[in-house]
Structure 1
Amino acid sequence: MAIEQLTIRALTRDDLPAVVAIDIEGRSRRDYVERRLAAALREPRLHAQFAASDAKGLAGYILARVLEGEFGRSEPGLRLEMVGVRPDARGHGAGARLFQVLTDWARRHAIRDAHTTATWRDAAMLGWLGAMGFRLAPSYVLDVSLDKDRRPVPHEGPVTLPRGHGPGAEVDFGAPQANDDERMASERPEVRAMRPDDLREIVRIDRGITGRDRGSYIEARLAEAMHDSAIRVSLAARRQGAIVGFVMARADLGDYGRAAPVAVVDTIGVDVGQSRRQVGRVLLEELFANLAALQIERVETLVASTHLPLLGFFQHNGFRPSQRLAFKRRLDA
């Protein structure tokens, strides 16, 4: 088959059976692909998906989503989620042709880089990514299992020493634990699902952390959570009636060739005045409980290698280096 015989067009719902047939043998992800196509129709500006057709029908496909503010981003990017080519059409440049069309689409939408992840064991995918110009990204993929026997239980030391347990059995008023900040930490914040009327305070907290107004991004993700709570979970923490932190995660039900359900934490923030008061820890605890109820087995996130405080926070709460690697490719090169 010559590459000139391929016709590139938009992927549609009618292609669903053919996409599932090309996808990983023995591990049908029909539900994921169906949801993915529905999301693209609902939010076309955030999705790019193309099909390659030949005389036999669907020869290949590629799906990507626009990143707006995930993982602290300041400019839009493209998240490559799925790519597949029919076995008898492989080796003839169909994947490269699809990626080139995707790249052209991204440039027209002022998107300058593409991102993806792949397990280090997938030699075929790693080779294809290398051929397409992807390089290792300066980021770490971290994950944690939600298996009941391995679920992390963050340790928190005592807030004060009990009476009579200081040196010499006296009350130790000088113990470093007995300070106002740590007493505040003992007041566990209330965590609940994020609501539309939380938006203003969430944006304020995010602006205090990032120095940018990302209201449009947060509003869009909040609307997504309202529309489909089985795909996106967004939680807010309150203390004494005020919002002091938030976390946003989405269920990844098939991205990057995965068959097992995974959740991705893409945005988390704690009011700068509430640091070291366990707000982030409590948010993750509640998030893990919500995701476990959705039959999610593992939680993942992406952290820049230079963001040492955030790396420390996630590792302290049970996250460890994943078996997946992060890749990036500049699209203006």
Structure 2
Amino acid sequence: MKYYVAVLTGAMSYGILSTIVVLAYGQGYQLGEVVGSQLLTGFILSWMLALYTKFQQRRKAHEAGKGQGAAAPIQAIQRLTWKHRLLLMAAGTPTVITGLVYYQSLRYIPASLAIILLFQFTWISVLIQAVGKRQRPDKVTLLTLLVLFGGTLLAAGFLEHGLSEFSVWGIALGLMSAVSYSLFVLFSGKAVPAAHPAYRSAWMVTGGLILLCILFPPTFLFNGLIWSQLLVFGLLLGFFGAFIPPVLFTIGVPHIGGDMAGIIGAAELPVAVLMSAIVLHEHVSGLQWIGVIIVLMGVALPELYKYRLSRSKTIYS
């Protein structure tokens, strides 16, 4: 259960980001500055956690060695090879691409439509898993995706606003963010799964930061802009976007699988709707709230099915 909770919390953290980005855009900050401050904060926090983890491991190994006598060898701490580090950095690049294309889509289309386009990662991740494993998703997974898709249409307000009046470029960016997010969810569970989650997360964020610095040189670090209100936005975005989700996903995804992680990630949508209503004071209609409830039901459906199945086996065994 703790692995499901880890992935769920990481997905909910992502739901907060769109509100923070809209507020940052309202203050006049640009895409590279917003994403750059986010990843820089995530980089610092991730490596602080990695160094603390390394210190704790060394201390425990030293205490274990003392307890077994002076001649007892101290347990070696697992070290990542450069091949492993490069794999983890490559696995972290979809995070940057997701942030860039999703945040940019918010400039062309309403947040409600941007959310629903990003949310297509639910079926995209399942499709990628099915193609990779060369097997068809089971009936419960298909039913869950159907419920999630229907609830998403209502929760994002798509049925009320229509599609013809929106930017084609914005829609394309939103769909690109869904594909990139799906790849991140899948890669985060497969890239060097034996390594400690703190180290895996730190190297993944490092890879994302390197890619971002190539695409958008961090001029905000040298012109003094980082010491403005951008620092506050960067801290919030870095904590909820570049630090918490990668750490929790590297903990949970290897244990629950990429397909289930994609489904549990549905929690991002209701959080985004709640944040837009509470913080941005956007109007959320009754149909949207119904959609939120349907999405939550879709998230719970696989676990309810497993619980019912295990209970039936217990009764008849």
Answer whether TM exceeds 0.5 for this pair. no
Structure with the largest fraction of helix: 2
Highest Rg: 1 or 2? 1
- Relative contact order (C-alpha < 8 Å, sep 6+): which is higher? 2
TM-score by length of 1: 0.23
Structure with a larger share of its residues in strand: 1
